[in-house]
Amino acid sequence: MKERFMNTYARTGLVLDHGAGARLFAVDGTEYIDFTAGIGVNSLGHGHPKLVAAISAQAAKLMHVSNYFMTEPSVELADRLTEAAGFDTVFFCNSGAEANEGMFKLARKYGSSKNPGKNVIVTLKQSFHGRTITTVTATGQDKFHRFFGPFTPGFVYAEPGDVGELDKLLGPNVCAFAFEPIQGEGGVRMISREYLQAAEKMCRERDILFCADEVQTGIGRTGALLACERLGLRPDVTAVAKGLAGGVPVGAVLARGKTADVFQPGDHGTTFGGGPLAAAAALVVLSELGSPGFLDEVDRKGRHLMSLIENFKHPLIKDVRGMGLMVGIGVVVDPHEVVDAARAHNLLALTAGDDTVRLLPPLVITMKDIDEGAAALKLALDDVEKEHR
């Protein structure tokens, strides 16, 4: 079955057929609770009626025309997304890596227009920004750098939490500081509010763009439209993707103030980005996220899930961290063992970093599914503990 695919993923061999809400069904009929949401993509779960209807209607009407022309869904999405997020302009693309590429290009143009040597971008160690050569370069993890050099020059990595070091790194040659509010692939690592607020202050004082990679944390994942809202931060530029269209590929670069009009015709582009099909899907996601109490409920569900896991008081668990429905469980064993054991108990989960089980359920998951999923996770941890005795 797998022979025709390039060997880029450690695939499980599980073949999925269909889904409903936070449940997935394999071709053999086995039912799973989904704590992955397609790695944070399926924000409205599987088979959401409004999302299915909007995609079907738009597919019958118009799917693609190129960005030389406008379509009603993309115009409406630009208005609603910028208004909801508090930005002035948006560039639509297809993925998180592309959104970050666009953000880095915008920052380079902003800096070099002030000074040709103002082109360095500071990111954080343990960060993850994508799989293209430039976004891999921006990623502050050596394991992603093997085999792929030479890399895009002009990236420097700071230690999260060390304000003194960052003060030294943010010199006159720096055009941007880019960060994830919570480091997802790095292990659901929380970055302190105080550190990020200090970074924002330094960037403001030195005319350095303060840039947020919210590809994984954005679009309701943390209980707010953007995680920066919960941290009291106001980035100049923000990249979003993953859950924005509930499963249809889309990304976006949001800009405000002095960055809103940096890009001019010919500076950047995309063939598929912001097409009417993805825009129609994204409009449904934004509508659902904007319904009364939805984001508060995401926060409540996340706190409930973390509380359940903390109450395991399990010997394999080091800590539980996260925000909203972005949860990391630090474990003392290989996290892949826990994820494999969870699958045997009909729960789908993820890993992140070297020691973390990552949970990213659909935002529409019910409390019942959370309770059942947590119970399955407990059984999985017990199984792994037995194997290590």
Q: Where are the domains of the chain?
A: 16-41+293-388, 50-289
The proportion of the chain whose per-residue pLDDT surpasses 70, expressed as a percent, equals 99
CA 3 to chain centre: 30
Position 55 scores a pLDDT of 98
| pLDDT tops 80 at residue 340 | yes
Task: Report pLDDT for 9.
Answer: 87
Same fold, 16-41+293-388 and 50-289: no
Q: Is cis: bond before 150, omega within 30 of 0?
A: yes
Per CATH, the homologous superfamily of domain 16-41+293-388 is Aspartate Aminotransferase, domain 1 (3.90.1150.10)
Residue pointed to by tokens 């996290």: 335
Span 288-317, pLDDT tens digits = 999 999 999 999 999 999 999 999 999 999
Task: Report pLDDT for 3.
Answer: 79
- 167 has pLDDT over 90: yes
Kindly indicate the confidence band of residue 2, based on its pLDDT and cuts at 50, 70 and 90. low
Question: Would you tell me which CATH number, out of the four given (2.60.40.420, 3.40.640.10, 3.30.1370.110, 3.40.50.720), belongs to the domain 50-289?
Answer: 3.40.640.10
Pairing of strands 189-190, 182-183: antiparallel
User: Which one, of 159, 122, 125, 172, lies nearest residue 144 by Cα?
Assistant: 125
The stretch 233-237 carries a mean pLDDT of 98
Mean pLDDT of the residues in the chain: 97
What is the value of pTM for the model shown? 0.96
Choice among 3-12, 122-131, 181-190 with the minimum mean pLDDT? 3-12
Q: Judge whether 91 and 252 are in contact, CB under 8 Å.
A: yes
Helices (H), 221-275: 227-231
